[in-house]
Structure 1
Amino acid sequence: MSEHTQPPRTDHTPHPPRLMLEGLRPLARRLLRRRYDVLVHGAEHVPTSGPVILAANHVGVIDGPLLAIFAPRPVHALTKIEMFRGRLGRFLHYSGQIPLDRFVYDPGAVRQGLRVLRDGGAVGIFPEGHRGAGELERFHRGAAYFALVTGAPVVPVILIGTREPGGHTGSLPRKGARIELVFGPPFTLEQTAWPRRRGDVESASLQLRDRMLDDLREALVTTGRSLPGPLPPGEQEPDPSGGVTGTTT
């Protein structure tokens, strides 16, 4: 039986567009490096083929584009549906990003992510669910769920410098700022057949969070950097439900 016919079925789910995602990455890297000092560490940890989940902390507005552009492989990132409006929305769609409604169960986004993985591609996800301090205080189940369904390894990604201390939710780093992407060794969860119990997904999520916290601490030590701290008062984004750790206020 094809992986696409296993629950949740993805045999009737189209793969997100790939042409712009693959074709524009070299140009986008050159343009971004003209503005920022972008350093990539640990790229060798990303498997060169086969399904992979890139799970990243979420600090600034450019985290998604940076992940899609500078990861060793093209990445289809789960992106909040609010971004899919107007010209930006059309660009995100044709560059292969996956719209996600964070406040309800979104079977369409789940199936698109699974379609990418079952086709041997790379999916990007931000387990915190929104921008913030990037310290993984809030952690959601999506990355672990994808790993349990597909058996794909999870590569932790620590983003540093994408928002400056005191920076607003939509602010960009100053010109010339150093931005670092630190890829950690893959973390593998055993593939689990349907039905997958909520408790199993929660336990796997906590294991993944512990691993990412270790990688976060190591990345900050090895780079000599720090995270920017929380967003200014009143700018905290709404917190999606469904996390496996305590809520933020």
Structure 2
Amino acid sequence: MNLYSFAKGLVATIIKPLYRIEVIGLSNIPKEGAVLICSNHIDNLDPPVVGITSPRPIHFMAKAELFNVPVLGSLLPNINAFPVKRGMSDREALRKALSILKEGKVLGIFPEGTRSKDGKLGKGLSGVGFFALRSDAVVVPCAIIGPYKMFGKIKVVYGEPVEMESLRTGKASAEEATDKIMDSIRTLIEKYS
């Protein structure tokens, strides 16, 4: 058993008793091939919650500062996390993310770039649109519907893939692709809240 599987099982045994997690739409995640999971971001627990509910291992970008934290810094690369420098164009992180998708793996991303302070969906950064356009990945929107209250209920909703082909062939901008993805996440939040 690799460390990712072990960590996933461990995190699940801790989180599941604390929060009643209802997962909807798992069949929307393709069983193989590149997938870009795009989720809203309402809490620090979002990455592990998406990680334990996905049937496939997910690679996440994590803020570079976390890799300087003792123990956590050495653990993160072993559970498929890689660093991104926030507030600037981090070419190394962009290349790493695209290579993950080119290898047919799953990349999880929070397009808002940071947690929402009020729980409302913020504006998405153009990076997610860039990944969607520059890869052949299936783009799956995800809505985490909280709030995270001890023994409360959390819904994790995986929506139908966002149609990207027309944007790819029409040479759409990264911003246009991001807006379309954010609209899909917003629709899920409105439908399942």
TM over 0.5: yes
For the aligned residue pairs, the C-alpha RMSD in angstroms reads: 2.2
Counting matched residue pairs gives 190
Query: 2-side partners of 1:136 and 1:36: how far apart?
Result: 21
Q: Report the equivalent of 2:189.
A: 216
Q: Report the equivalent of 1:142.
A: 127
- Cα offset, 1:162, TM superposition: 4.8
Deviation >6 Å, runs of 4+: none
Query: 1-side partners of 2:109 and 2:93: how far apart?
Result: 11
Query: 2-side partners of 1:147 and 1:134: how far apart?
Result: 25
Query: 2-side partners of 1:129 and 1:95: how far apart?
Result: 20
- Cα offset, 1:214, TM superposition: 1.4
Q: Report the equivalent of 2:49.
A: 66
TM-score (norm 1): 0.70
| Structure 2 counterpart SS, 1:124 | strand
- Cα offset, 1:30, TM superposition: 2.5
Name the larger-Rg structure.
Answer: 1
Q: Structure 1 residues 134 and 143 mapped into 2: Cα distance closer, same or farther (>3 Å)?
A: farther
TM-score (norm 2): 0.89
Q: Report the equivalent of 2:104.
A: 120
Q: Deviations over 1:165-194 (max 9, x none)?
A: xxxxxxxx32x222221111111313849x
Query: 2-side partners of 1:143 and 1:134: how far apart?
Result: 20
- Cα offset, 1:216, TM superposition: 1.7
- Cα offset, 1:211, TM superposition: 2.1
Does the 8 A contact of 1:51 with 1:121 survive in 2?
yes
| Structure 1 counterpart SS, 2:15 | helix
Q: Report the equivalent of 2:35.
A: 52
What one-letter code is carried by the residue in structure 2 that aligns with 1:69?
Answer: I
User: Unaligned stretches of 5+ in structure 1?
Assistant: 1-17, 164-172, 221-249
- Cα offset, 1:205, TM superposition: 1.5
Q: Structure 1 residues 152 and 183 mapped into 2: Cα distance closer, same or farther (>3 Å)?
A: same
Q: Report the equivalent of 1:6.
A: none
Q: Deviations over 1:114-165 (max 9, x none)?
A: 11111111001001111113432221112221111112111111112254xx
Structure (1 or 2) with the greater strand fraction: 2
| Structure 1 counterpart SS, 2:71 | helix
Higher relative CO (CA 8 A, sep ≥ 6), structure 1 or 2? 2
Task: Tell me whether 181-190 or 30-39 shows the greater mean CA deviation.
Answer: 30-39
User: Unaligned stretches of 5+ in structure 2?
Assistant: none
Q: Report the equivalent of 2:175.
A: 202
1:156 equivalent in alignment to 2:129: no
Counterpart among 157, 163, 167 of residue 182 in structure 1 = 157
Q: Report the equivalent of 1:103.
A: 87
Query: 1-side partners of 2:180 and 2:168: how far apart?
Result: 15
Query: 1-side partners of 2:121 and 2:86: how far apart?
Result: 17
Q: Report the equivalent of 2:5.
A: 22
1:90 equivalent in alignment to 2:66: no
| Structure 2 counterpart SS, 1:86 | coil
Q: Report the equivalent of 1:10.
A: none
